[in-house]
Amino acid sequence: MKITGTGSASPSLTVSNEMLATFLDTSDEWIQTRTGIKTRQIISTEQLKDLAAEASIIAIDEAGIKAPDLDYIICSNTVNEYVTPALSCILQGMLGANCPCIDLNGACSGFIYALDMADALFKRGNMEHILVVCAEEPTRMVDWTRRDTSVLFGDGAGAVILSKGEGFKSFKLSTISNTEALYQIRKLQDSPFVKKEEEDGALVMKGQDVFKLAVNCSLSDIKEVLRLAGIKADDVDHYLLHQANMRIIDTVMRYMGQTKRNFPHNVERYGNTSSASIPMLLDELNKKRKLKTGQKMVFSAFGAGFTTGACMLEWTI
């Protein structure tokens, strides 16, 4: 498969570090030094499905197809206002598509897992075009009285159209079961029959554990996709890493012996938008004409689970 269109959409409300410091014991200086984040976009008047639709329509237009041409919609989403139906099913109606739809919850690695699923569907042989859309609102998950998590996230959507072709060269996915480092629990609804002592909590994170897992797993995933594709670290024109934290991106970059030249980032403007972060950055680079046909790219992400994944591709637009 190859990428034939990209799209992205962000909510309208910009929240700066200074705005957070008006109600949290934090500062612009702390947030910038530890994470690189300056501002993030947060859902207020919008709904996540609107952002997902906007990103998808931009990608569909660029691919030169119509929504009914889609053979599958895979939506990477952790939470939205609906528990069911899946966001992809809601989106299908908004777009006017009529293909099968499924959501996957791979947390911040969801984009890579969705691409891997799409790759398998293409290999099955009866697909022409697949929409992968990552739509996330982690700001629905955090406790806004807690400075350790709420300053890190933003909302957004990023989409790609995948069409039959030769673009993707290698994938590496891994999962290490871990319910300690990053999790959120949903409480059981009490009934006349069952009462359980369960917490109904916000997102909990052990920041330093996540940091170490993120760096180690990203490095091994990236090295493996390079090995499988038969290329060297220096051959890659653009490394698009999950935009969670500038210090994680910089650490991986240094260990790979690379420079800022081929590690683009926008975490400073969007914060961590979970699985939407890589397709949002990809669309930004594409729309700014920073990507040239044939250039080599690596995507790499990590997230709750603990899920990680990377892939290597050649740019095909």
Name the residues that contact ligand COA, by CB under 6 A: 26, 30-31, 34-35, 108, 147-148, 151, 182, 205, 207-208, 210-211, 214, 244-245, 248, 272, 303
Backbone angles phi, psi at 71, to 5 degrees: -100, -15
Location of structure tokens 């969007």: 270
Least distance (Å) from ligand COA to the CB of residue 206? 8
127 SS3 class: coil
Least distance (Å) from ligand COA to the CB of residue 107? 7
Residue 108 annotated as catalytic: yes
Nearer to ligand COA, 59 or 253 (CB): 253
Nearer to ligand COA, 1 or 108 (CB): 108
Nearer to ligand COA, 52 or 108 (CB): 108
Residue 129 annotated as catalytic: no
Nearer to ligand COA, 7 or 271 (CB): 271
Q: What count of other Cβ atoms lies within 10 Å of the Cβ of residue 234?
A: 10
- Helix H segments across 125-206? 147-150
Each residue of 293-306: b (16+ CB within 10 Å) or e?
A: eeebbbbbbbbbbb
Nearer to ligand COA, 243 or 286 (CB): 243
Which residue type occupies 290? K
CA angle 100, 103, 106 (to 5 degrees): 145
Q: What count of other Cβ atoms lies within 10 Å of the Cβ of residue 316?
A: 17
Least distance (Å) from ligand COA to the CB of residue 207? 3
Nearer to ligand COA, 4 or 307 (CB): 307
Q: Which of 108, 134, 217, 311 is catalytic?
A: 108
Least distance (Å) from ligand COA to the CB of residue 277? 9
Strands (E), 181-275: 182-183, 204-205, 238-241
Least distance (Å) from ligand COA to the CB of residue 194? 33
> Which element (helix H / strand E) includes 119?
helix 110-124
Q: Which of 77, 80, 245, 272 is catalytic?
A: 272
Cα separation of 239 and 233, whole Å?
10
Q: Which of 75, 101, 217, 242 is catalytic?
A: 242
For 158, residues 6+ apart whose C-beta sits below 8 A from its C-beta are 6, 7, 8, 55, 111, 133, 134, 273, 276, 277, 278, 279, 280, 281, 282, 283
Residue 272 annotated as catalytic: yes
Q: CB nearest ligand COA: which residue?
A: 207
Percentages (nearest 5) of helix, strand, coil residues in the chain? 40, 25, 35
Least distance (Å) from ligand COA to the CB of residue 17? 9
Residues marked as catalytic: 108, 242, 272
